C-alpha cells in the first residue's frame, strides 16, 4: 500500500493490525504485553525509514512560531522531529530506548547536516530523568506506552520545561480505535487529552488540550486519524 501523506501512522497501523489479529484483541483474550526495546528494535531493523522523514504536522504547527532554544524530544524514534527542529535552529536532545532507532536518527541527522545540533541519548523513559526546568521545548510525539507507565513520564517531562518554555504531547487518541484510521489497535496505549492533563497534575499551565483530526491520504482514499494534543507552558 502506498501512502502520500505522513505515512508514519498508516504504516504503523498495518504492522500493529497484524499483531493484534494474532493476539485476538477483540473479546476475551488478555491485552498483549507492551512493546519493549527489543520489539521496537526489530521493527526498526530495516535499512529504510519505517516512518516518514517529514516532521509531524502538529509539531510543526505548534512550534514554528517559537524562538528556537533547546528542545527535548522524548521517544524520538528515527529522529524526524528532532531533525526538523535542529534545521529550525533548535539545539536538541533526542531520547529513545531503541538503539537501532537512534542509529537511524543519527544517519538522518547526518544526511540533513544537523548532526552537530542533536545530542542523541539512548534511555528508557520509565527511568530517564531530564534536568528540571532546563528545556525551552519538551515534545512527546506518539509515545505508545501503557497508561499506568505514562503518568510519571509526563510529570518528569513537564518538570523539564524551562520558565516560559513549551510542553507538547501528540498521541493517538482513544477515540481512534473505533472512529479513526490506523494507529495502535490496543486501548491501553491510547489516551485522551483530558487524561494527559490529569496525569500532568498541574505541573504546567495548559494552553490547549484537545482532539485533533489528521487526514491521511491512502490508496483507498482519504482517511482520518484521530490524535490528542496537549500543549502547556511553564509560566
Ligand X SMILES: C[S@@+](CC[C@H](N)C(=O)[O-])C[C@H]1O[C@@H](n2cnc3c(N)ncnc32)[C@H](O)[C@@H]1O
Residues making contact with ligand X (CB under 6 A): 8, 40, 51, 56, 75-77, 80-81, 96-98, 101, 124-126, 141-145
The sheet that has 118-122: what strands, in order across it?
118-122, 91-96, 70-74, 135-141, 161-172, 221-233, 205-218
Query: Smallest distance from the beta carbon of 218 to ligand X, in angstroms?
Result: 18
Query: Smallest distance from the beta carbon of 19 to ligand X, in angstroms?
Result: 14
Looking at the Cβ atoms of 154 and 221, the one nearer to ligand X is 154
CA distance 235 to 99: 35
Partners of 222 in the β-ladder: 217
Parallel, antiparallel, or unpaired for β 70-74 and 91-96? parallel
Query: Smallest distance from the beta carbon of 28 to ligand X, in angstroms?
Result: 27
Query: Smallest distance from the beta carbon of 25 to ligand X, in angstroms?
Result: 18
**Which residue is closest to ligand X by CB?**
77
Helix intervals (H) in 50-192:
57-63, 80-87, 99-111, 147-159, 176-179
Looking at the Cβ atoms of 127 and 205, the one nearer to ligand X is 127
Looking at the Cβ atoms of 171 and 200, the one nearer to ligand X is 171
Query: Smallest distance from the beta carbon of 81 to ligand X, in angstroms?
Result: 6
Looking at the Cβ atoms of 202 and 215, the one nearer to ligand X is 215
Per the CB < 8 A criterion, the answer to whether 49 and 43 are in contact is no
Neighbours of 148 (CB within 10 A): 9
Looking at the Cβ atoms of 125 and 164, the one nearer to ligand X is 125
Amino acid at each position: 500500500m502506498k501512502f502520500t501523506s505522513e505515512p508514519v501512522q498508516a504504516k504503523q497501523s498495518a504492522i500493529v493490525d497484524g499483531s493484534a489479529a494474532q493476539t485476538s484483541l477483540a473479546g476475551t483474550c488478555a491485552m498483549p504485553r507492551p512493546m519493549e526495546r527489543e520489539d521496537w528494535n526489530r521493527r526498526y531493523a530495516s535499512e529504510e525509514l519505517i516512518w516518514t522523514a517529514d516532521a509531524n504536522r502538529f509539531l510543526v504547527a505548534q512550534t514554528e512560531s517559537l524562538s528556537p532554544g533547546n528542545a527535548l524530544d522524548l521517544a524520538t524514534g528515527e529522529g524526524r522531529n528532532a531533525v526538523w527542529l535542529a534545521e529550525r535552529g533548535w539545539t536538541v536532545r533526542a531520547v529513545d530506548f531503541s538503539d537501532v532507532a537512534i542509529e537511524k536518527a543519527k544517519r538522518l541527522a547526518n544526511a540533513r547536516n544537523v548532526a552537530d545540533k542533536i545530542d542523541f541519548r539512548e534511555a528508557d523513559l520509565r527511568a530517564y530523568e531530564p534536568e528540571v526546568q532546563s528545556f525551552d521545548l519538551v515534545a512527546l510525539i506518539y509515545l505508545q506506552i501503557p497508561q499506568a507507565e505514562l503518568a510519571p513520564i509526563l510529570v518528569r517531562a513537564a518538570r523539564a520545561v524551562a520558565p516560559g518554555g513549551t510542553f507538547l504531547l501528540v498521541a493517538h487518541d482513544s477515540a481512534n480505535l473505533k472512529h479513526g484510521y490506523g494507529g495502535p489497535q490496543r486501548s491501553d496505549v491510547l489516551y485522551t487529552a483530558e487524561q494527559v492533563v490529569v496525569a500532568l497534575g498541574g505541573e504546567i499551565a495548559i494552553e490547549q488540550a484537545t482532539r485533533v483530526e489528521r487526514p491521511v491520504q491512502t490508496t483507498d482514499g482519504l482517511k482520518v486519524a484521530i490524535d490528542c494534543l496537549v500543549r502547556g507552558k511553564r509560566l
